[in-house]
């Protein structure tokens, strides 16, 4: 089911050269058509696409307060308690990301500084319809609220009955979402980017979605900001020979069950462990409700890489730059400093990836497809902008006048030089 590669005999270049295909042209064209329709026709287009793709015949997109309260009331107390506790863990972690501006005073009457300001309105996209992800609501909305965003607009598809999952709505209430709309797919991204009669135009769109959502986010980037282009979920478990194969297999399956395109990779230093994990995967996958999805993921995108030692294993992990990296080894902190490229790192034998998905506090919206080489998890910093300021007294500007003139004229910008010099010609 899952392929095993011995890096003693298989060149690493062969492993690393396996690239996923880009977005099909027909998807690009379909998304562009949807974006233009929503831009021109607003709510009517969003409702039409929702009925076509989701089967829900709606007359309005907005979730009102009564619907929100009723959904929360239907949730089991244990679920509400778990959501509240998870939210508190997420808030506690993300509060540490808050950064103030600064003010720098120099001799002679110069004041410089930087202000950190929240965005006014952001949109969070939460996948839905046949599945429900209240954890994504918490992960996306709580950092925005902590940053000081005044309006957090959530888009999530409803089921064919016109209802959004109760737990998703309860999470939105807990996280401080201000506006909720029943819309998904590229049409939801379009509504957030352009604004419609009922949906406010936002400054930034964050959150994961399918290929149509990801393509739409990419196409509206520039009109609005986005967090990242999220690909299928990924996990890389780096394990030593003493790791429990049953636990390792369970962790690989935790991501394989997401999507047939998901990637589950084991990198280890033991062929015995590799074979034992492969056998466990065969056994465990048959017990999963989503076994067909998990099996397809493992067969198409899963692999086990057997390295010479843990140093080579870490090197492979850095080259693959996974979304989730588990260091399932005896001394995980000894390897942590060697990790350069990973969205989120899980340390030791008792930190499964699901801990980060739901509970611990760090964000689970993470870079995928190797982009952890240069990008970061969703954070409070995604919801703020920085603005600098400059103040000079007349005396301070006089002291800088000649040097500014030299630099401006070097660049052929005479008016720049004169804008400074004119203040001293009267």
Summarised one tens digit per residue, pLDDT across range 378-419 is: 999 999 999 999 999 999 999 999 999 999 999 999 999 999
| Residue 380 located in a structural domain | no
* 331 pLDDT higher than 70: yes
322, 255 in Cβ contact below 8 A?
A: no
Q: Do both 56 and 189 map to the same domain?
A: yes
Q: Do both 29 and 173 map to the same domain?
A: yes
Q: Which domain does 252 fall in, by range? A: 231-373
Give the 3-state secondary structure percentages of the chain, helix then strand then coil, rounded to 5.
45, 20, 35
The 10 Å CB-count burial string (b at 16+, else e) for 374-383 is eeebbbbbbb
Q: Do both 222 and 363 map to the same domain?
A: no
* 219 pLDDT higher than 80: yes
Q: Packing angle between helix 291-301 and helix 271-285, nearest 10 degrees?
A: 150
**Beta strands 225-226 and 303-306, pairing class:** unpaired
| Residue 271 located in a structural domain | yes
Q: Which of 247, 258, 324, 364 is flagged as catalytic?
A: 324
Q: Do both 203 and 238 map to the same domain?
A: no
Q: Do both 237 and 220 map to the same domain?
A: no
Count of the separate structural domains present in the chain:
3
In the three-class reduction of DSSP (H, G, I as helix; E, B as strand; rest coil), residue 219 is classed as helix
Is 324 one of the catalytic residues? yes
366, 324 in Cβ contact below 8 A?
A: yes
User: pLDDT by residue (tens digit) across 174-200?
Assistant: 999 999 999 999 999 999 999 999 999
Domain termination site, one of 177, 203, 226: 226
| Residue 7 located in a structural domain | no
Q: Which of 257, 280, 323, 353 is flagged as catalytic?
A: 323
Q: Do both 50 and 163 map to the same domain?
A: yes
Q: Do both 282 and 180 map to the same domain?
A: no
| Residue 383 located in a structural domain | no
| Residue 336 located in a structural domain | yes
Residue 89: its pLDDT value, please? 98
Q: Do both 214 and 305 map to the same domain?
A: no
Global pTM value: 0.92
Q: Do both 295 and 198 map to the same domain?
A: no
Residue 132: its pLDDT value, please? 87
Do you know the residue count of the chain?
426
Q: Do both 41 and 183 map to the same domain?
A: yes
Between CA 41 and CA 345 the distance in angstroms is: 44
Q: Do both 317 and 404 map to the same domain?
A: no
Residue 59: its pLDDT value, please? 92
User: pLDDT by residue (tens digit) across 102-122?
Assistant: 999 999 999 999 999 999 999
CATH of the domain at 247: 3.40.50.1980
Is 323 one of the catalytic residues? yes
Average pLDDT in the 187-216 region?
96
User: Which one has a higher pLDDT value, 11 or 265?
Assistant: 265
Average pLDDT in the 21-37 region?
92
Residue 56: its pLDDT value, please? 87
């Amino acid at each position: 089911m899952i392929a095993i590669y011995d890096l003693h005999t298989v060149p690493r270049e062969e492993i690393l050269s396996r690239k996923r295909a880009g977005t099909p042209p027909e998807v690009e064209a379909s998304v562009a058509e949807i974006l233009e329709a929503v831009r021109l026709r607003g709510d009517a287009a969003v409702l039409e696409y929702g009925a076509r793709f989701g089967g829900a015949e709606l007359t309005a997109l907005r979730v009102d307060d009564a619907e929100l309260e009723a959904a929360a009331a239907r949730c089991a107390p244990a679920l509400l308690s778990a959501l509240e506790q998870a939210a508190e863990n997420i808030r506690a972690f993300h509060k540490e990301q808050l950064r103030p501006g600064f003010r720098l005073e120099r001799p002679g009457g110069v004041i410089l500084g930087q202000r950190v300001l929240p965005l006014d309105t952001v949109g969070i996209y939460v996948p839905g319809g046949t599945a429900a992800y209240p954890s994504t609501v918490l992960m996306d909305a709580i950092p925005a609220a902590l940053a000081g965003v005044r309006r957090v607009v959530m888009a999530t598809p409803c089921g064919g009955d016109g209802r959004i999952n109760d737990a998703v709505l309860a999470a939105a209430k807990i996280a401080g979402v201000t506006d909720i709309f029943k819309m998904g797919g590229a049409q939801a991204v379009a509504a957030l980017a352009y604004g419609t009669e009922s949906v406010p135009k936002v400054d930034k769109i964050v959150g994961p979605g399918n290929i149509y959502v990801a393509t739409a986010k990419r196409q509206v980037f520039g009109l609005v900001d986005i967090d990242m282009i999220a690909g299928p979920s990924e996990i890389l478990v780096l394990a030593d020979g003493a790791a429990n194969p049953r636990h390792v297999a369970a962790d690989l399956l935790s991501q394989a069950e997401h999507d047939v395109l998901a990637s589950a990779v084991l990198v280890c230093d033991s062929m015995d462990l590799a074979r034992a994990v492969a056998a466990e995967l065969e056994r465990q996958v048959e017990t999963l409700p989503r076994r067909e999805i998990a099996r397809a993921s493992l067969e198409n995108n899963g692999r086990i890489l057997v390295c010479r030692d843990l140093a080579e294993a870490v090197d492979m992990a850095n080259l693959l730059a996974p979304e989730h990296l588990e260091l399932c080894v005896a001394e995980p902190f000894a390897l942590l400093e060697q990790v350069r490229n990973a969205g989120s790192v899980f340390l030791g034998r008792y930190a499964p990836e699901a801990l980060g998905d739901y509970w611990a506090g760090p964000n689970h919206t993470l870079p995928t497809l190797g982009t952890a080489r240069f990008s970061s998890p969703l954070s409070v910093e995604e919801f703020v902008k920085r603005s600098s300021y400059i103040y000079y007294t007349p005396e301070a500007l006089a002291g800088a006048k000649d040097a500014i003139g030299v630099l401006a004229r070097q660049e052929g910008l005479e008016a720049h030089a004169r804008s400074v010099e004119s203040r001293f010609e009267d």
